[in-house]
A and B are shown apart, each in its own frame.
Chain A
Amino acid sequence: MTTAETSDLLNLRSVVLSNLQHQHYWTDIKLLDTQVDIDENTQNDPLPRPMIYGRPPEQLYNPEPASSTNEASSSEKPPADKEYVLPVHLTEKLTLRTWASVFDNLPTPSGAAEGGEGGGDAKKKRIVVAVVSGDSTVVYYIMHDGIVKPRQN
């Protein structure tokens, strides 16, 4: 990746960052540039694309709500899970290879068996795709790695 492309992606990320902070009130935001930012045990290779890690004000949709048992015992809401955000510009064209490499650099979420890709019940990786358009509108989509049942069905 050339430096020009990298700086484009970093600018893109700053747009998404301010949108998340000031329009959607995300907290605990951390910028991710290399693999070390995600997992200290790995090498210092750059991520395929710069990302954001943060906590939404409310829990985003979760296919297997882990808090269902907690809700009964405590009236306090548990803090929402942190999410990985991938900024993308609307005019970009990505391939399956790119998406796969983004997911492959993410850690397996807690609760999933090690290397349990074959296990259907293993918690699947997911990211929030932030699509930025030319007028700085940002729309957010949840993308799962693997087959995950839609929420309302």
Chain B
Amino acid sequence: MYNFLTGPGLCLSIGICLIGLLVRGVWYVKGLNWQLDRVAYTAHPKAGIKGAVRSIVFWILPFGTRSWRAQPFMALLFYTFHIGVICIPLFLEAHQMILQEKLGLSFALLNQNLADILSWGVIISAVFLLLRRIALPEVRILTTKHDYVVLFLSVAPFITGLICRYELGNDSFWLLAHIISGEMLLIAVPFTKLSHILLFFMSRAQLGMDFGIKRGGMKGKGLTW
């Protein structure tokens, strides 16, 4: 079981995730239409690229936009959550060993203390994101089951991972649970809102091009995000 999950299972789930995302990306770009979207995407490449880059960079920078600054607590939860969910799967030492062994890939390693902090950061921020969904009327009214499922899918590998890390309960059970939850997450990416892993960049670039090309980007200093 373990061998299957860390062998073909891992390759399959990574493959579904990457190919699925690739399809989503291609489908997104193919669906853009300069006349329907009313953005001359290719006519002004310089302004378009500048707009797209600004739109992505300001939103990735912590507190880089007025929106983030207006909601500092949410911004803190957002960044804590996202830094953890990006860094842990890629750079945790245990993950690196598997990647090295199966795929021959290797990145920089996370030190264990930092990995613990990031993992706990994900769990704690997820709890607050959940509470925020329930407590704030303006978020509650928008929330659907999909949102809870996606949050659960995202956090499950961290909960099971920490159980393994602290060696609570039955080791082999929790390790399998961890791998399964991680692979479920990977498989879910292209088919759920988790596709924002890629589509965030696409959507931000698109709006950035809209403002950069059509809505004033060529008139002055550009939009203040």
A binds B: no
Interface residues of A (CB under 8 A from B): none
User: Which residues of B pack against A, CB within 8 Å?
Assistant: none
